[in-house]
Every structure is written in C-alpha cells, then in structure tokens.
Amino acid sequence: MSLCLLSEISLPDAPSYAAVATDEYWRAPHVQQHQSLLGQLQSTLDLREQLQIFSMAAGNILPLAGVHLQTAIGDFGAAGSSEASHQHRSLLMLKEQCLAKLHYYSEQPFTPLICTRLQALEVEWLYSLRNALVVTRLQQMALKDTLTGLGNRRFFDDSLSKAIQLANRNNSHCAILLLDLDNFKQVNDLYGHAAGDEVLIAVAEAMHSTLRSTDSLFRFGGDEFAVVLSDDDVASSELIARRLVKAIQRQHSCQQHQVTASIGIAHWQKDQQPEALFSAADKALYLAKEAGKNRVRQA
C-alpha cells in the first residue's frame, strides 16, 4: 500500500487532550516481550486493536487507568479508560512527522525510568501505527461525501441500522430527519455548479453548527441530506429540525440564492425496519414540500 497519504494524517500541531479506563483492562496475563509486541502489532491494521495491544504492553511497565491516542483523523481511547491522578504525554514522531499524541493515566507516578521504558515501546509501534492510520484514513474517505465532508449514503445506511439495533437492544429510541433544499435546482441552472457547490457547503456548515455529533450528518448526493438522532435527542427532534431550517436560511449563500430547506421527521417504532423508517420520513418530507417549502413535518 502506498504511504503517500501520510501527509494527510500528520499532526503538525497537536492540541492537548484528555483521555478516558478500569484497572482490569490493563492486567495482562503475562509480560510482553519486544519481539512479541512487534509481532502482535503487525498482525492487524485495525487502529483500535493496535491501541489495545499497545496499552496492555504498557500496563506491564506501570499499572494504568487509561491510554488515549489523539490523531488528525480522530481520537481513540483504549477500552475501559478513565482519568487518574498522574498523567504522562508523549508525541509519536516518525521521520520528522507527528503521527499522534499518547496520553497515559495512572494512580502511580511516571518516573524517568518508567517514561524511558514507555518510549521504547512507542518506538516499536511507530511503523505499524503509521500503516493503521493510512488504512483508517482510506476507510473514512470511502464513507464521506467528498464535497461537504458529511457521511455518504453508504455510511447513512450503516449508521441507521446500528442506531436501530441499539434502540432495539436498549429499549430506547432513534429518529431520522430527511432534508431537501428548496429552489436549489435553479441555482445550478442559472449560476452554474460552482455556485451550487457553495450552497451545499454552506448547508453542511449550518448542520455542523446546529448538531453536536458530526457522525450523524449525511449527504446522499444532489441536495438531499439526512440526520440520525440517538435516544437523547429524539424527544427534541422537531425543535432540532426547526433550528436546522433557520440555520440554513441564515447562511449567506442560501440567502443570496433564496435557498431554504424542507424537513421530514420519522421516529422509529418497535420492530420497524430501516427501509420503513426511511419511507416514513420521506413521506413527511413530501408533506413539508406540499405545505409551501421551508417547513417541518412529522410522519
């Protein structure tokens, strides 16, 4: 695999961060040897699995409460991580490029000898970590809309299925919002696709500023967008939808071209399949359009 994408995942100016673990996660069954650690790390390209392998090895040097990895493509915590009274940060550098920041937590102090031994483990991880970052970045790109950075239809389908599974398992709730832009076609027809792209980017920015979780925002292509709401936000789905409508309307590009948004809302019902939930939201969206656009309707 080409490593030319490393520049995309470098972290030249990594900000500080906090991590999140329980001691039971850090009790390895036996002491890892360097050779054994390197072999384990090279056995997987999954970033979370590598972090777990590394954290177990680090836990043999000092009992840890948590290990947290900060990268340009996301933050990752080892399973069960929690804060503790003592902390240690380390910058993972490879050939003058910053791959990530590591943040360790422990109830015991990080002595100079402990830090030196942890650094030796980090050196063992560098090349495997770089490869895992490249793979993770490619996986993320496959699930993103290239123009807006929102999730694509494939990511939406997967996220909706997982949201329904979680709601079913926990006896909780989920909902979806389907957005369609009003008067968008005339922007492309009259002013060209560059102007249309500017509007789409502005809509994505409005969605980002209105909702907390960026992983719940999607663009299907064209001027169709969606939001997946988890249990905490379902009760406020209509309020969230109306805030979205207003946020989009306030965008300069949308005002300039008189583009607004219509939204249809559907709440998941027990044993309802993803296709049926999507269809209900689509029907509600149609009602919003029929009501005069720039409207919100619930299924």
Could you give the domains of the chain? 6-142 (3.30.450), 153-298 (3.30.70.270)
Instruction: Identify residue 23 by its one-letter amino acid code.
Output: D
- Mean pLDDT score of the chain: 87
pLDDT band at 74 (very low <50, low <70, confident <90, very high): confident
- Please give the Cα distance from 186 to 254 (Å, whole number): 12
Per-residue pLDDT, averaged over 157-181, amounts to 93
- Please give the Cα distance from 148 to 198 (Å, whole number): 10
- Please list the alpha-helical segments (H only) found in 193-236: 193-210, 231-234
pLDDT, tens digit, 9 for 90 and up, residues 176-203: 999 999 999 999 999 999 999 999 999 9
3-state secondary structure 72-127: CCEEEECCCCCCCCEEEEEEEEECCEEEEEEEEEECCCCCHHHHHHHHHHHHHHHH
User: Above 60 in pLDDT, residue 272?
Assistant: yes
Per-residue pLDDT, averaged over 105-133, amounts to 96
- Please list the alpha-helical segments (H only) found in 43-77: 47-59
Task: Say what the pLDDT of residue 94 is.
Answer: 94
Per-residue pLDDT, averaged over 2-8, amounts to 42
Task: Say what the pLDDT of residue 172 is.
Answer: 92
- Please give the Cα distance from 281 to 175 (Å, whole number): 9
Output the six-digit token pair for 54. Answer: 């590394």
Task: Say what the pLDDT of residue 7 is.
Answer: 42
**Could you give the percent of the chain with pLDDT greater than 70?**
87
Number of H helices, E strands in the chain: 11, 9
Task: Say what the pLDDT of residue 35 is.
Answer: 52
DSSP helix/strand/coil, 174: coil
User: Above 80 in pLDDT, residue 123?
Assistant: yes
User: Above 50 in pLDDT, residue 216?
Assistant: yes
- Asked whether 9 and 133 are in contact (CB, 8 A), the reply is yes
pLDDT band at 137 (very low <50, low <70, confident <90, very high): confident
Per-residue pLDDT, averaged over 226-250, amounts to 93
Among 135-144, 230-239, 284-293, which range has the highest average pLDDT? 284-293
Residue with tokens 């999607």: 218
Question: What is the sign, positive or negative, of the torsion defined by CA atoms of 1, 158, 181, 234?
Answer: negative
Helix%, strand%, coil% for the chain, nearest 5: 50, 20, 30
User: Above 80 in pLDDT, residue 277?
Assistant: yes
Looking from the CA of 270 toward its CB, the CA atoms found within 13 Å total 4
Contacts of 117 (CB under 8 A, 6+ apart): 61
Task: Say what the pLDDT of residue 291 is.
Answer: 93
Per-residue pLDDT, averaged over 261-275, amounts to 95
* Nearest to 136, CA basis, from 77, 91, 73, 94: 73
3-state secondary structure 239-283: HHHHHHHHHHHHCHHHHHCCCEEEEEEEECCCCCCHHHHHHHHHH
pLDDT band at 73 (very low <50, low <70, confident <90, very high): confident
Output the six-digit token pair for 284. Answer: 């509600």
Query: At 26, which helix (H) or strand (E)?
Result: none
Task: Say what the pLDDT of residue 215 is.
Answer: 64
User: Above 80 in pLDDT, residue 214?
Assistant: no
